[in-house]
Structures are given as C-alpha cells and as structure tokens.
Structure 1
Amino acid sequence: MGQNGKAENISFVLEDIKRVKFETSPVPTLQDPHDVVIRVKFTGICGSDVHYWDHGRIGQFVVEKPMVLGHESSGIVAQVGPKVKSLKVGDAVALEPGVPCRRCDDCKAGHYNLCSKMEFAATPPYDGTLTRYYRLPEDLCYKLPEGVSLQEGAVVEPLSVAVHLVRQAQVSPGSAVVVFGAGPVGLLCGAVARAFGAAKVIAVDIQAGRLEFARTFAATASFLPSRVAPAENARALVLEHGLGQGADVVIDASGAEASVHTGIHLLRPGGTYVQGGMGRDEINFPIMAVCTKELNLKGSFRYSSGDYKLAVELIATGQVRVADLITKTFKFEDAERAFEAVKAGQGIKTLIAGPDGHKHSRSSL
C-alpha cells in the first residue's frame, strides 16, 4: 500500500540493455465491462524476456522506451467488470498475455496468434506482467482447477506454446516424434506428444545433462549429436532408434541451423516438420530433401484457439507434470538476479514471485 492507504502497482521495468528498475504506477482500472484485474502471483522467465534484457530487441521488435518485462504469469482475480460471468474475485487463474483485435480475418478464423494488431505482453511497445496488478479481458484468464497450483499456472503459457507446436505437427497415436532442443518448450513438446499418443519421443540436444532430464520427464529416448555433418547425425539417429525410413514428425525448439538440417534429413517421406525455435533470421536450407521426400513444413507462433484450455487440462489431469520443470523461485525484489541466473543457463524453469510474495490471499483490491 502507498502512504495514502491505496494500492500501488510496482513493476519490474527494462529501461535499456541490462538496465532495469522497480517503478510504481497507478493500479490498472477496468476499461471494458468484460475486463478483470489480476493480482499477479508468479511469473516465469522466458528466453524472449532475457533476450530483450540482454539485447534490447528481437528481430523487428525493438525496446525504444521503458517496458515492464514478463508474460508467463498466474494470479488471483482482484476485480471484475460488471459483465464478467466466468470469474469472481478470489479465483486463481493463468493469464494468456496477448490481446488480439478480434475483428480481422485471422482472428475470426481462430488464428488470432497471427493478428497484426496483437497487443502482447512484454513485446514492444506493450508492458508485461512482472507487476503487482495486471488487466486482461475475462476470456484470456483461465481458471485453475482445484489441485493446480499458482506456480503450475505460471507454466501454462510455455505449455500452450508446446500444445500449439504439437497440434501443428498433427501428432497422432503411434507416431515417432523427434524434438530438437531440451529447454522448457522442447521438454513440454515431448510431454504433449506423449499425451497425444506418440509411441516414440526422442529428445535431441548438445547438452548431456538436459538429455538426462528429458528421459526422466517425458522422452522415451535421447540422442546426443556428434560433430559431423547433419545428414550423418540423421542417419545415426535413425539407426540407433530403429526409425526405419525416418521419423514421422520433427519439432525444432532450438532454432539452431544444424538442428534444422538434421531434422529435415531424418524425416521419412511425407513426414512433417514444425519450426518453433527462433534462431537467425535467415539460414541455409536443405531444399532438395524437402522436395524429394515431399515433406510438410510448418511454422508455429505462440498459441491460438483452444491451446490454453487444453494446456490447463493436461496439467489438471496429470498428463503433463509441469511442476517438475520449476527449478527455483526468486523474490520479486531479486528479479534481476533471476534474469542473470537464466542467462547463465541455471535450472530449467525459473519463476519470480509477485510483489506480495508467496501469500495467496484471495481478497479484492
């Protein structure tokens, strides 16, 4: 509370590259009858957050003015608009941190992740969720079922990214799936693929420690690439894991050029490749293999209709154990230390508690 007894909104703000501060601003107010205000309880750190902190930009998105970081959050509903029907004060929710225009062709077709007017948290120029209070429309707040913790709720966002990737790949029962990159999203892709019925989920990474964890989490097997040509690694993986003509599905969650090449080469004819990891803007590409094997190539960007809802259900039913990924939770005042830890590659999924700490009060403003 401020000196006048009113609630204050403290936020973790990126001023410039590796220059951050804590800043107090007015508590957000309801702008629409369907809005809710959430008291943020936990926020996960994403690679994009670290990239903005470390470099000040991602592709065309450039930090040109101070911006609140964070977008993987959960919290407690603190205020509801007069037309809100699905939520009440005190409900625990996962936040979907992007507000589309709802009117363009992509939005109306259910592909709102492609909306050109998307207002996405912690993507310039829009502020993120590392704050005490955050406002969203009610349909972008997903009530957490009993038994799902607020910490798990903060991992719904990256899980939804994985759900979208696996849905893009059209993974079906019995599929052989290879996932490149054993970071949080890659690990979650493996878990979602298993939930979709994949018979084999093979994790690929250049760090043996990550592969060891992947095997305990969801992967049925793993592969550590050698310092050879991608096509040679692809042949070795196919032989080592008995994939016959190749994998049914490859999902790249690394963005590494070598992974892209290896993935294309190890797919069976007619297989499906989905790109989720973002690396360099342009890379060399094995186009001949794509053509002669008549592969299906897809991109994947964030999440769209139904992905968040399914992610919550996968956690609630125990099909994806997101709590196993949470390595450490930092206090809000130690947010910069949390970013430094993630940059240093420490742990798997790091959370930052809200400004009010671990208190799970379900009271209003």
Structure 2
Amino acid sequence: MRAAVLRDVRRIDVVDLPSPEPVGADSVLVRVGAVGVCGSDVLRFGLGKGYGFPLVLGHEMSGTVAESSADGSFQPGDRVAIFPCLPDPHDPMTEIGEFALAASYDYFGSRRDGGLEEELRVPARNLFRLPEHVSLIEGALVEPAGVALHAVRKAPVPPNATALVIGAGPIGLFAAQWLRVGGVVRVLVADIDARKRRIAEQLGFETIDPTDSGSDEIAIDRTDGRGVDIAVEASGLGLTFLQAVHATAHQGHVILLGDLSTDAPLAKETVSRILRRELTLHGTWNARITPRGRSDWDMVIASIGRTVNALDLVSHIEPFEEAQRVLEGLADRRVWANKTVFAVSEEARAEADRVLAASLSRAEVPA
C-alpha cells in the first residue's frame, strides 16, 4: 500500500509499505477515505513535535470497511469515522470510559502510524458507521467536531445565555455551532482574520474584530457591561485565555479548548476577578466514545449535515501524495487555509469537487 511517511522534520516520502498489522482485539481492515489536517500535524511536520520518526500522520480519519468484524457488526462497504485513541485496558480511567485521560494510551497519527496511508487496521470499537447523507470528507471532521462538543458540554447553559468563542478556525466554529445547538441564544465569535469572520457571519454568528480592542472589551460592551455566560478560548494563546476570563459574567464558565502556545501569567487582578465573580474554569481534552449510543461521537454523527455544518469549514481537499507540499505551505503560512483535508481513497477524491464548489471556506481562498 502507498503511504506518506514523515521521515524527519519537514521531510515526507511517499512510499510502498506492507499492509498494516492488527491492532488490539477484533481488529478490522479499513481502506482510509479522507484525513483532516490538525494544527498538531503541522507542528509534528514543521517542528518535529511528536513521538519520533518515521511516522505516518493523520488522526482525523474516515474510511470504508474492507472486511467483516469478528462479531459481524461491520461489513465490507460500511463507511466509518475512526476514533484515533487506543486505550490502555489496564488503566483505571479506561474502566470508566475516559480513554484519553489515561496515564498511557496509543494514538493513531502521533504514537503510531495514522491515516495518510491507504489501509489501516482498527479495533471495531473505534469505528462509527456514517449515515448515507454524510460524506467521507465530513467523516474526517467527526474527530475535531467531537473535541469541540466535548468541550462545550462542560458548561451549563442558563436561560437567555450568551457566549463568546475566541478563534474562528474549525474547532472554534464547531464550538460556536454546538453552543447554538445546546441552547445559547447569542454566540459572539472573535478572530483577527477577516476571512474567518466572514465564514462565521455566513454561518449565522455575530462576529468581533479584535484587531484594535481586545475580544473581552468588545464582548463586555456588546452585552451592556455584563459579560458572557460562557467563554471558549479556541486560539491557543495566553493573551486570549486571559481575555476569555475577563469577558465572563458573574458565575460564568470559561472553557480552555486551545492548547496554549504561550504562557498566561495570572495577575492578581485576574485572580481577583475569578474569585469575586465565582467563575468556573474548565479544562478539556479529546472526546468520549462511551457509553455507546450516547457518547460525544454518537451525537456528532447524528448532527453533522443537519444541525451542525462541517463542509463549509473545508477550504482545501488535496491528494495525500501531496502531503509534503501541502504541509510545507501550512507550516510556512504561505497559503490561507481554514480546514485542509487529504483525500486518500478514490471515493473521497470523487467527493472533492462537489464539496469545494459549495463551501464557504473555499470561496475565501484567493484565486
């Protein structure tokens, strides 16, 4: 099979590899369909921030089942989304279904080879069947949509709630949509990128341009001095994390969704605000696939293409053989992109033109 192998920092070779070995119990052979590019993939490529080389990147994955599972629950031809976390069966957190909170686990695309190869063997419990109306391209976005859902579910939604999402990338726009689905009446979305703000506006959100004033100052002004009930930091900056804290109303909730790339020193005034407003800060990590049928991933798959829009976040669909060129462009910021997806299978490549022709994000790509 063909695979795009990260050999070293900024070096990917497309080569032939043997078919993958079984993984865990009841391992099922899957033909990889589409793979989303996460910011962590760009860091692994551009800076070597990973678990070593060689490595096949890709943890946001969809595919088509190529053989029956042992219990018959999956059959050849089933289109699936692939949960990337492989739990440690002996960890106490695994026993309660918190696979990604375990002290140790395996992970497609970071700790073991991931989706930028034509085939993958996946434990049956990591597979989620896609409905007929959900494309393979959308299936690759189940993982980031699940991360965003898992985050916003941590905050209770009061009546007539307002929320602020700082960062209008794919994770931020998924978070904004989930807040709306969950009953938040007014969702403000802040980003310095005018193109991302336009996408947010077309998805029905009120936007904030924080270029001259902080997101917190504008959000407080727009809520008549009260602040928002829920603030989601989805930019990954220390500054925007502090802005999220300062934008939040009394007894509000702050969700730290972005993995910070800079420090966030807490001045005593900030700590006083957290105390005197009785704010709640939530950390969040990955998503849950348990209990089956009522998990984060089950909700994503039931909602995507209906109440949650994934396709409008896709700006680029590329052949996976072009991984070197594409990741160089993203690492060097030579190209504007919202969500880039690699098409691995012919079925996914056949979806590309239709998806891009209708995507709001594609419309923002310079000609």
The answer, yes or no, to whether TM exceeds 0.5 is yes
Q: Which residue of 2 aligns with 1:104?
A: 91
- SS at the partner of 1:222? strand
SS of residue paired to 1:346: coil
1:168-179 aligned at under 5 Å gives the runs 168-171=154-157, 174-179=160-165
Shift in Å at residue 224 of structure 1? Answer: 1.2
Partner of 2:20 in structure 1?
Answer: 28
Q: Per the alignment, in what secondary structure is the counterpart of residue 153 of structure 2? A: helix
Matched, 1:18 2:7: no
The Cα of 1:333 is off from its aligned counterpart by 1.8
Match of 2:237 among 256, 269, 285: 256
Residues 12 and 323 of structure 2 are in contact (CA less than 8 Å); yes or no, is this contact kept in structure 1?
A: no
User: 3-state DSSP class of the match of 1:280?
Assistant: coil
Residue 73 of structure 1 is matched in structure 2 by 61
1:47 paired to 2:39: yes
Match of 2:207 among 222, 235, 238: 222
Change (3 A) 1:81 1:279: same
| Contact 2:137 2:348 (8 Å CA) reproduced | no
Measured after TM superposition, the shift of residue 30 of structure 1 is 3.8
Shift of 1:226: 4.1
Q: What amino acid does structure 1 have at the position aligned with 2:88?
A: C
Counterpart of 2:343 (choices 345, 353, 357) is 353
Look up the SS of the partner of 1:68 in the other structure: coil
Corresponding residue to 1:139 among 113, 119, 125: 125
Shift in CA distance, 189/359, structure 1 to aligned 2, threshold 3 Å: closer
CA distance in 2, matches of 1:26, 1:52: 23
| One-letter amino acid of the counterpart of residue 311, structure 1 | V
Amino acid at match of 1:255: G
Q: Quote the residue 1:166 is aligned against.
A: 152
**Following TM superposition, by how much is the alpha carbon of 1:355 offset from its aligned partner in structure 2, in angstroms?**
5.2
Quick one: distance in 2 between partners of 1:282 and 1:342? 24
Q: What's the counterpart of residue 278 of structure 2?
A: 294
CA distance in 2: counterparts of 1:29 and 1:111, whole angstroms = 26
Q: Deviations over 1:211-250 (max 9, x none)?
A: 111111242x11111445x5xx5233222x2255211000
Q: Give 1:14's aligned amino acid.
A: L
1:335 to 323, 343, 359: 323
Query: 1:21: how far off?
Result: 0.7
**TM-superposed deviation, 1:154:** 0.8
The residue identity in structure 1 corresponding to 2:53 is K
- Whole-angstrom distance in 1 between the partners of 2:277 and 2:15: 55
Q: Which moved more, 1:161-170 or 1:182-191?
A: 161-170
Corresponding residue to 1:312 among 293, 301, 309: 301
CA distance in 2, matches of 1:86, 1:174: 43
Unaligned runs of 5+ in 2: 351-367
Q: 1:224 to 1:298 in 2, by over 3 A?
A: same
**Mean Cα displacement is larger for which, 10-19 or 331-340?**
331-340
Shift of residue 281, structure 1, vs aligned partner: 6.0
**What is the correspondence of 1:144-163 to structure 2 with a 5 Å cutoff?**
144-163=130-149
The answer to whether the aligner puts 1:234 opposite 2:234 as a matched pair is no
Distance in structure 2 (CA, Å) of the matches to 1:216 and 1:349: 16
Corresponding residue SS for 1:169: coil
For 2:158 and 2:30, the matched residues in 1 are separated by: 37
Q: CA deviation at 1:160?
A: 0.5
TM-score (norm 2): 0.87
1: CA distance between counterparts of 2:25 and 2:260? 41
Q: Could you tell me whether the CA contact under 8 Å between 2:23 and 2:122 is conserved in 1?
A: no
User: Equivalent pairs: percent with the same residue?
Assistant: 30
Shift of 1:31: 5.0
2:103 corresponds in structure 1 to: 116
The residue aligned with 1:3 is: none
Cα distance between partner residues in 2 of 1:166 and 1:348: 21
Structure-2 separation of matches of 1:16 and 1:359: 28
2:250 matched residue in structure 1: 269
- Give unmatched runs, 5+ long, in structure 1: 1-8, 361-365
* Amino acid paired to 1:138: A
3-state SS in 1 of match to 2:112 = coil
The 1:209–1:272 alpha-carbon spacing in structure 2 relative to 1, beyond 3 Å, is same
CA distance in 1, matches of 2:141, 2:76: 22
1:44–1:73: 8 Å Cα contact kept in structure 2?
yes
Distance 1:203 1:70 in 2: 28
Contact 1:332 1:355 in 2 (8 A): no
What secondary structure sits across from 1:337 in the alignment? helix
Q: Quote the Cα distance in structure 2 between the aligned partners of 1:31 and 1:346.
A: 37
Tell me, yes or no, if the aligned pair for 1:10 and 1:355 is still in contact at 8 Å: no
328-337 or 179-188: bigger deviation: 328-337
Contact 2:242 2:264 in 1 (8 A): no
Task: Name the CA distance, whole Å, in 2 between partners of 1:194 and 1:242.
Answer: 17
Residues 30 and 81, structure 1, Cα contact 8 Å, conserved in 2: no
